[in-house]
């Protein structure tokens, strides 16, 4: 319903420290994808959402994820965001850091083309949120440098692009590595039978 799109961010029930970050970024009203996704995700439901790059989808999954982590702090990596490219991973981490400025939440990006050392440190330090490309995450998994047993929220971002890039087997392996009991948020610009599957 259209009226929800006119509701300000303050009406979504998000943690006050997150709302401070939202306000400083100059966001007043949620975009349609944010207005529809955030309440569903906050309630703990799984979500399959159609969203293009640039629709505000990053905040649509970051805000409810961060809110849930703030509700019950724990020293463990509890949220995993899988995205197709290092550029997207770096951008999501940048958005996370901007939104997290008034919280104690930590995030790290894990992708290929750079040394694995600092990434290993992020895992050892129990970074709250890891943003990763599939291949590099599985490299860490095979070397046992990453513990995904504490994951409570799994986000699959640009799922259709990941399929197009041939990441289907990697995605299935990653899903097998995280706990069965979790919340899954999936964002895709298009919906094929494969995506639905």
9 vs 35, 84, 86, 100, 130, CA distance in Å? 8, 29, 29, 16, 25
Any idea which of 1-15, 40-54, 120-134 has the lowest mean pLDDT?
Answer: 1-15
Is the pLDDT confidence value at 3 over 80?
Answer: no
The reported pLDDT for the residue numbered 124 is 84
As a whole number of angstroms, the distance between CA 176 and CA 185 comes to 16
Pick the closest to residue 23 from 52, 63, 78 (CA basis).
63
The reported pLDDT for the residue numbered 73 is 84
The reported pLDDT for the residue numbered 117 is 87
Overall average pLDDT of the 77-95 stretch: 96
Is the pLDDT confidence value at 4 over 80?
Answer: no
Any idea which of 1-5, 41-45, 119-123, 182-186 has the lowest mean pLDDT?
Answer: 1-5
The reported pLDDT for the residue numbered 6 is 64
Any idea which of 7-11, 24-28, 101-105 has the lowest mean pLDDT?
Answer: 7-11
As a whole number of angstroms, the distance between CA 182 and CA 61 comes to 15
Using CB atoms within 10 Å of the CB of residue 32, give its burial: 0 to 12 exposed, 13 to 18 middle, 19+ buried. Answer: middle
Mean pLDDT, rounded, of the chain: 91
As a whole number of angstroms, the distance between CA 180 and CA 111 comes to 24
The reported pLDDT for the residue numbered 1 is 44
Q: Which pair of structure tokens corresponds to residue 133?
A: 């490309």
The reported pLDDT for the residue numbered 7 is 77
Share of the chain above pLDDT 70, in %: 97
């Amino acid at each position: 319903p259209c009226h929800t799109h006119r509701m300000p961010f303050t009406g979504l029930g998000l943690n006050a420290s997150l709302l401070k970050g939202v306000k400083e970024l100059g966001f007043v009203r949620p975009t349609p994808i944010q207005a529809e996704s955030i309440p569903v995700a906050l309630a703990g439901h799984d979500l399959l959402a159609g969203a293009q790059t640039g629709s505000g989808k990053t905040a649509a999954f970051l805000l409810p994820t961060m809110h849930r982590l703030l509700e019950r702090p724990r020293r463990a990596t509890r949220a995993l965001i899988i995205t197709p490219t290092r550029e997207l991973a770096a951008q999501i981490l940048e958005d996370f850091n901007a939104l997290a400025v008034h919280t104690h939440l930590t995030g790290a990006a894990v992708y290929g083309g750079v040394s694995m050392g600092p990434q290993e440190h992020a895992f050892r330090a129990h970074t709250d949120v890891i943003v990763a490309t599939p291949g590099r995450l599985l490299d860490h998994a095979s070397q046992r440098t990453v513990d995904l047993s504490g994951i409570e929220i799994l986000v699959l971002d640009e799922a259709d692009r990941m399929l197009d890039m041939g990441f289907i087997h990697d995605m299935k392996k990653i899903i097998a590595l995280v706990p069965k009991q979790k919340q899954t948020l999936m964002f895709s610009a298009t919906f094929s039978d494969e995506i639905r599957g």
